[in-house]
Amino acid sequence: MSAVESWELRSRFARRLAELYGREVPAYLTLVEVSQEVNADVIDRLGADAERLGSIDRVSAERHGAIRVGTPEELSQVSRVFAALGMYPTGFYDLRDAAPQPVPVVSTAFRPIDSDELARNPFRVFTSMLVSQDRRFFDADLERRLANFLARRQLFPDELLRLADRASAEGGLPPEQAERFLDLATGCFALSPEPVDRAWYSELERVSAVAADIGGVESTHINHLTPRVLDIDELYARMKSRGIEMIKEVQGPPRWRGPDVLLRQTSFRALAEPRRFREPDGSISTGELRVRFGEVEARGIALTPSGRDLYDQLVARVDESLVYDPSLPRQDAAEQVWEQGLPDSEVELARRDLAFFTYHINRDRPRDGREPPPDLTGLIDGNWVVAEPVVYEDFLPRSAAGIFSSNLTEKGSVDSSQGGTDRDLGWLADVIGRAVNIPEEIYAAQREESLRQVRGALGPGQDISNSP
């Protein structure tokens, strides 16, 4: 029998996690059901246009997960598991000084990079690591006790790591080993039945509920699994009408008449789940924790660095207008700002180099004897090329912080008189032992490759720069 390749491992792993999470958090199944209803309705309404940012097969299967680990070593181990699945660290997110609430973690996303891998299965996992060295959150004594606690646990068994390394080296695993690998890998993300040490958990919770969820328990677990939906406002309304308490708003760009860009997300509040506790007197009791929740997202077009700058300016403008008029719903304020600030068509986003597209020769262009113009704007305007939007495959730090904080019950405590601890993409790469990809570079390379082909087809003398 031939090997199970890494893309197939990834798609089977994503399915296994979904089954696990559906058993553990049944509300997840409702979310998936409603997402699928909404997607089917959008396809009925818009036909092929609905698939402009991904085929319905890809979108229906698409999920992202989130996990949280405690130490650099745990992060480097989980990165070996993800590498076996063809998922590589991409992007660096520092949530420690995030508004509305700082969270003592830095994060990256493990995801496929190549477009054909993404098309096969785009499963990605937002992965956060506790920064217990950060004095704004943890004093030296707590840091030391956290380090001791975390050093005693092993999240990923040796057998799993060995199989993972073999899968990475060989691009897959023989069927039997693949099965074993998937059993072990999925098992690592199940909620642990081990009792939680009440006093220790509560002490960490006073600093940060996320710190308690990471460093107060014996294992990690999948925190949420997020389906992709084609109309997130419709989904939000339908969930509410089913009586499910959603967070206040959709995070990210507003609903508006122009193209969807980046990422819009929303979630329902974490549900109370029964957990066992070890009380200070040694007895075992049952209680509950609210940690895991449901999230859903709609993906738009990836923005170029200048598009992203513009996006950040627009967000700042929305924030300002809400300072002047706090009674305004954020959606309304943002929609106004968007209409004034962002081009409302794909072609204009392309012409102004605000969003990423791949370019392809327009085979339907009638031959009129003209020579193709030398620049990209000319090629777009003269219908020589068609532009296909590049989907944003990453995350937004502000939305991530919003999602984290809307699900925290305890406020936590931050001592801002203390300095932070430096963490950046390079530091993360050292910890993981492999390069951390920069999202914008991946998108730019895709665009560049398409332009190389356009140049080839139009013949020499075409010096198309990739920025109009």
Among 7, 88, 123, 126, binds ligand OOG (CB under 6 A): 126
The nearest distance, CB 226 to Ni ion, in angstroms, is: 5
- The full length of the chain comes to 468
Among the listed ranges 59-67, 101-109, 231-239, 385-393, the one in contact with Ni ion (CB under 5 A) is 59-67
Chain positions 367 to 396 lying near ligand OOG, rule: CB under 6 A, are 395
Check binding of 66 to Ni ion (CB under 5 A).
yes
Check binding of 223 to ligand OOG (CB under 6 A).
yes
Structure tokens that stand for 150 in this block = 């975390």
157 versus 397: smaller Cβ distance to ligand OOG: 397
Check binding of 66 to ligand OOG (CB under 6 A).
yes
Structure tokens that stand for 190 in this block = 């199940």
Whether the CB-CB separation of 194 and 152 falls below 8 Å is answered with no
Number of residues that bind ligand OOG (CB under 6 A): 12
CA–CA–CA angle 329, 99, 255 (5° rounding): 35
Check binding of 109 to ligand OOG (CB under 6 A).
no
The nearest distance, CB 64 to Ni ion, in angstroms, is: 6
Q: How far is the CA of 87 from the CAs of 11, 122, 289, 300, in angstroms? A: 11, 9, 30, 21
Residue 220's binding partner out of ligand OOG, Ni ion, none, with CB under 5 to 8 Å set by partner kind: none
Angle between helices 27-46 and 232-241 (to 10 degrees): 130
Report the distance separating Cα 27 and Cα 344, nearest Å.
36
Among 35, 79, 265, 266, binds ligand OOG (CB under 6 A): 265
Check binding of 400 to ligand OOG (CB under 6 A).
yes
Cis-peptide into 100, omega within 30 deg:
yes
In terms of DSSP bridges, do strands 4-5 and 172-173 run parallel, antiparallel, or are they unpaired? antiparallel
Half-sphere exposure of 276 (CA within 13 A, CB side): 10
Neighbours of 149 (CB within 10 A): 18
Among 60, 90, 121, 128, binds ligand OOG (CB under 6 A): 128
The H or E element spanning position 86 is none
Residues near 1 by Cβ (< 8 Å), separated by ≥ 6?
174, 175
118 versus 387: smaller Cβ distance to ligand OOG: 118
Among 403, 425, 432, 436, binds ligand OOG (CB under 6 A): 403
Report the distance separating Cα 38 and Cα 77, nearest Å.
38
79 versus 399: smaller Cβ distance to ligand OOG: 399
The nearest distance, CB 125 to ligand OOG, in angstroms, is: 9
12 versus 292: smaller Cβ distance to Ni ion: 292
95 versus 454: smaller Cβ distance to ligand OOG: 95
Interface residues with Ni ion (CB under 5 A) are 66, 226, 295
**Residues within the interface to ligand OOG (CB under 6 A):** 66, 68, 126, 128, 223, 265, 295, 395, 399-400, 403-404
